[in-house]
Every structure is written in C-alpha cells, then in structure tokens.
Amino acid sequence: MKTMIIFIVCINIVFLITINGMSLQSKYQLKLSPLVNNMAISKTIEIHALTKEMEKNGLLVYSLCVGEPDYSPPESVLSATTEAVTKGLTKYTAVNGDILLRKAIADDLYTRKGTKYFPEQIVVSNGAKQSVLQALMSVVSPGDDVIIPAPYWTSYPDMVKICQANPVIINTKTEDNYILNPNDLRNCLLNNPKITCIILCNPSNPTGSVASYEQQLALAEVLNEFPKVTIIADEIYERLTYDGISHFSFAKLSDEMFERTVTINGFSKSHSMTGYRIGYSASSLEIAKACSKLQSQITSCASSVGQYAAYKALTSTSTTWFNSQLNNLQVKRDLSYNILKSIPYVIVNKPNGAFYLLPDVSYYYNTVTPDNNNIRNSNDFCLYLLKEKLVALVAGESFGDDKCIRLSYATSTEILTESLNRLKSFILSLK
C-alpha cells in the first residue's frame, strides 16, 4: 500500500511539473469554470479508478463498487458488432438515432410496457447518463428546484447543478423500503414553489427497491396537483427484477403522466453492453426535439456500431438468455443478502431489482480498526476496508445516506463470496 501511495504521489508531481512539455515557467494563467469547480467527480468512477491503479501496482483488489454485469452481451450483440463494421455501418446516423433502432425501441416499449411512442419521440444518446442530463437541461431553468429522493444515484445532484438548478433532497426510510412517501412529496412541493422537476429511479440504484404500481400511482396523484412538474423516470434497471415482481412504467400510469414523463432507459444493464454507451429517452415530441437539439451541439449521434448492436439486442435476444441472467443474479442477490444478514447489527433490506445492496453499517461508526484507524462515517469505513482487506465498496455518503455502504453483486460468485467474507471479517475486527 505504501508503495502504491508513493507511486501515485510521484506521478502527480511529474504531472504537475510537466504536461505535454509545458514547464512551470509557463505564463499561461488557467482559471477553471465555477461550473467545474463546484462539481464532484462521480464517486463510483473515482473508486473504480483507484482500484485499477492499485491493481497496476500488483495488489489483488476485490471490487464490488461498479454496477457492471460480469457476463457477456448476447451472442446476437457480439455478432452484430462485427457485422456493423464489415457492412460499413460506421458513418454518422441522425442525431437522435438510427431510424431502425428508434422504431425498435418504440415497438419494444409498446409491447412490454404498454406506452405508445412514435420514433420521433425517441432520442438515442451515448448512454442513459447523457439522456438524464439532456432531459434535465431541456426542462429545468437556472434557479429552479429539482426533487431527488435519497438514497439517490450519485450523479443526480451534480447533474442538477450543471443546469444551475438546486437539488432538493427528500429522505426515504429503510422501513419503507426506501420508497418515496407521497405525503413527504406533497409537503416538499408545497414548501418549494420553484420545483419544476423530479427524478425517480425505479428500480433504484443504490437500494435495489422496486416501487409497485400502487406506490407509483400514489405519487402520481400528488403530482397531478402540481402540473408544472416534469417527471424524469430513470428505468434503466426495469428488466432486472426478482421474486416474480414486475416493473410498471411511470409513463403508463395515466395520460397526464405519459405527457409529463421523460422515460430513461438503455442497454448497459439489461444486455450487459456498458461499453457500447447506448441509452435513450422517450418523451413528448416537444421534449424530444429539445433533447435532440442539445445533443446536436454536444456529441451529435451515438456510435453507429453501438446502435446497430442495440438494434440486434432488441430484436434478437431470447427470453432464455434474459431468464438465465436473472436467475444467476438472483442467486448472487440471495448469497449477498444472507451473508450481510449474518453480521451482527448490520441492517439490510432484501432488494427486488437492479443488482445492489445498501447495508446500514452505522452501528460500527465510532469504532477503531486493528490498525488503530477511527471509523467515523461511511467514507472512513470504505477507506479502511479497502486499505486493510482490499475490498472496494462505495460510501453511502455519495448516495445521500451516510449510514450505509453500497455494493454491487453483478460479479462472479467467487469474487462476491470472498469480498463479503472479508467485509464480515473486517466488521468483526472493529472495536
């Protein structure tokens, strides 16, 4: 560990002294934008980068910090990737996406979710993250307030700040399975007249909770009283549900919600296509045009090769493939949950979706590690877990709940078992 720290420090010193041949004698006076200075790097990406740096230095790190399936995409996706190149499908597409893919997305949403979109209402982007940001930039003005239920995906607050708007956090409760309470939503809307948007992630990253039809309908009934609020429904994990639970799309709740909802989805989680970077939004035509206009000035179209692979993913992936992956994930979910439940004073809900658990480890705050390091919060907990047991998790503080830590079970059973046993050993060593 000391070798790694020295190595990183040395690299940073060299980086400061010379960048592309520029010496410290340069007269260039760089002033970064306040927009960047007020923004935090994504904590999941930061931790992932740190683990990779440690691995470069010869350390075997057990990482449960990144939400990335460990299995390959469907064979049809792999074949389509090669086929796209050999067919010469490597040119620009329309900014909002290839028409074949947009038609396939519209058909899929109608067939599986019951929501009727035209291809013109679909905007294909470089991942669902870009789709969320473009939706925010399209409907939020500087000075507006945006509701984000906590625990939340770590990027949401900074995305809101990029729009020069203000995140308004509503805390959810463990005993409510982290589902937003409609009374809390109404009170927040009444007390914050500048709210113009709410972000709902279902199934949830980081909790794995799945809001039912009835629970979402209760939220929609509140939102009906506040017609200026747009709903961004991040449903990137909607195919990943367990225990016979089905996901219901927020836009399907009513005609009113259909008009006011921007549905976010993609292929990274459902088809294990994280590196392809293909996501999309489905919305009213007015919002879709706004998102497309933004994208035309930011990235233009998404990868044409990735789009063709996504088209094949939608039209050629068998139900058998999906069921196989879901069964494997559910086994890993159960394994993770059972080990965590066996640790004294750790509180954890059994998730019904996505591939995360968010255990509450706050009982062990204000304790000391065997190396005499004080654990005061989730950041300390994850730091010393990484240092002493070489297990990488993400601090709950990054998700708006400092009592907790987040882990992803979308990895091999071997890595998962070893990681959780090391976590248990670490906790039991605290005093």
**Of 252, 264, 259, 162, residue with least CA distance to 205:** 264
How is domain 2-71+321-429 classified at the architecture level of CATH?
Alpha-Beta Complex (3.90)
Cβ–Cβ under 8 Å, residues 377 and 260: no
CA distances from 327 to 158, 178, 321, 330 (A): 35, 24, 10, 5
Angstrom distance (rounded) from CA 234 to CA 265: 7
**Of 249, 288, 285, 289, residue with least CA distance to 265:** 249
CATH number of 75-316: 3.40.640.10
Angstrom distance (rounded) from CA 108 to CA 37: 41
Angstrom distance (rounded) from CA 152 to CA 155: 8
Give the three-class secondary structure for 193. Answer: coil
Residues 209-245 as b/e (b if ≥16 CB within 10 A, e otherwise) read bbbbeebbbbbbebbeeeeebbbbbbbbbbbbbbeee
Interhelix angle 413-429/378-389, rounded to 10 degrees, is 110
CA distances from 192 to 123, 168, 185, 196, 321 (A): 31, 9, 11, 10, 46
Q: Which residues of the chain have pLDDT under 50?
A: 1-19, 21-23
Angstrom distance (rounded) from CA 391 to CA 270: 26
- How many CA atoms lie within 13 Å of 64's alpha carbon, on the beta-carbon side? 34
Cβ–Cβ under 8 Å, residues 281 and 288: yes
Report the pLDDT value the prediction gives residue 3, as an integer from 0 to 100. Answer: 44
Cβ–Cβ under 8 Å, residues 397 and 382: no
Angstrom distance (rounded) from CA 280 to CA 266: 6
Cβ–Cβ under 8 Å, residues 205 and 398: no
Residue 170 is which amino acid?
Answer: I
**pLDDT per residue over 392-408, tens digit each?**
999 999 999 999 999 99
CA distances from 30 to 23, 33, 37, 122, 338 (A): 14, 10, 13, 40, 52
CA angle 402, 157, 34 (to 5 degrees): 115
**pLDDT per residue over 170-198, tens digit each?**
999 999 999 999 999 999 999 999 999 99
- DSSP code of residue 143: T
Report pTM.
0.92
For residue 267, give every residue at least 6 positions away whose Cβ sits within 8 Å of its Cβ, in sequence order, or none: 273, 276, 278, 279, 310, 313
Cβ–Cβ under 8 Å, residues 409 and 385: no
For residue 131, give every residue at least 6 positions away whose Cβ sits within 8 Å of its Cβ, in sequence order, or none: 123, 125, 264, 266, 279, 280, 281, 291
Angstrom distance (rounded) from CA 239 to CA 262: 18
Report the pLDDT value the prediction gives residue 24, as an integer from 0 to 100. Answer: 55
Domain map (residue ranges) of the chain: 2-71+321-429, 75-316
For residue 11, give every residue at least 6 positions away whose Cβ sits within 8 Å of its Cβ, in sequence order, or none: none
Angstrom distance (rounded) from CA 271 to CA 264: 15
Parallel, antiparallel or unpaired: strands 195-201 and 230-234: parallel
